[in-house]
Amino acid sequence: MSTVGKAISLLELFTVAEPELGLSDLARRSGFDKATTRRLLVALTGHGLVEQDAATRLYRLGAGLSRLARIREARFPFLQTAVPLVRDLASATAETVHLSEYGVDRLVTVHVEHPARANRVNVDIGQLLPLHSTASGIVYLAFARDEAVKACLTTPLEAFTAHTLTEPAAIARSMGEARERGYSICDQGLEEGVISVAAAILAADGFALGTIAVAAPKARTTAADIAERGLAAVAAAREISMRLNGDNLQALRRQA
């Protein structure tokens, strides 16, 4: 792995659940030597991608990341555009709604709205979603470039639950259904007792760039709920796509 890759993999150790980590901890988790880990952290800190708490000596992600993310957002106002519609969908469904964006053969959760009820599906910001075992992933693949689909289906697929589809053929079938319906359904593919629907958000070229998904406890979800949420997700995704691409008709080419 390149030195740069190592440095970035240090950044990836920080999560919502554990946003601050010590040097030894980082070294242990990354598998790098303590000296190496520290040198990388110093380099990252020097550019503001990591900060060190003056008192606790713990490391955390730095302000430079906010800066870079905002520059990206200025070019690509994905969050800005999508968040209001995620909120609307969340209040309409009273279930967890999460927004993801494609990045390096996975989907990256960039926003989440949780309903104000105790029994709900919990999704963390920053969580990484595999493509083959989530509603978001399936619908993403359904509207993705062939290369991306091929790349996904030719690697061995992990089974997270007894329900996870790992056969390329089965996944292709799911994708086909999603393409027809406009939304995907994933029944406990990543976690037992969770059922999700998702719709694809399209870039100007007509290919998916991200997804919007509704996740709910299976116990209280009926077939009618699924259909209703699916259609609502499609409407939200379509609206986000249109706002992103300035009503460009090409955006709907594949979804039509």
Partner DNA sequence: AAATAACGGTTCAAATAATGAACCACATCC
Partner DNA sequence: GGATGTGGTTCATTATTTGAACCGTTATTT
Binding site for a second copy (CB under 8 A): 2-5, 7-9, 11-12, 14-16, 19-20, 39-40, 43-49, 51, 54-55, 60-76, 78-79, 101-104, 108-111, 124-126, 145, 205
Span of 36-44, 76-84, 122-130, 176-184 interacting with DNA by CB under 7 A:
36-44
CA 11 to CA 30: how far, in whole Å? Answer: 10
For residue 52, the minimal CB distance to a second copy (Å) is: 12
- Binding of DNA by 33 (CB under 7 A): yes
> Residues 19, 22, 46, 103: which binds DNA (CB under 7 A)?
22
CA 211 to CA 183: how far, in whole Å? Answer: 10
Which of the 8 DSSP states describes residue 110?
Answer: E
Closer residue to a second copy (CB): 22 or 46 = 46
CA 251 to CA 208: how far, in whole Å? Answer: 10
- Binding of DNA by 4 (CB under 7 A): yes
Please state, as a whole number, how many other Cβ atoms lie within 10 Å of the Cβ of residue 4: 10
Which of the 8 DSSP states describes residue 25?
Answer: H
Report DSSP letters for 167-189, one per residue: -HHHHHHHHHHHHHHSEEEEESS
Q: Which two tokens stand for residue 64?
A: 């430079």
Please state, as a whole number, how many other Cβ atoms lie within 10 Å of the Cβ of residue 193: 11
Closer residue to DNA (CB): 34 or 47 = 34
Please tell me the count of residues contacting DNA according to CB under 7 A.
19
For residue 244, the minimal CB distance to a second copy (Å) is: 14
Which among a second copy, DNA, none contacts residue 254 (Cβ within 5 to 8 A by kind)?
Answer: none
- Binding of DNA by 38 (CB under 7 A): yes
CA 209 to CA 163: how far, in whole Å? Answer: 26
Report DSSP letters for 223-240, one per residue: HHHHHHHHHHHHHHHHHH
For residue 17, the minimal CB distance to DNA (Å) is: 18
- Binding of DNA by 6 (CB under 7 A): yes
Contact residues: DNA, CB under 7 A:
2-4, 6, 22-25, 32-36, 38-40, 52, 57-58
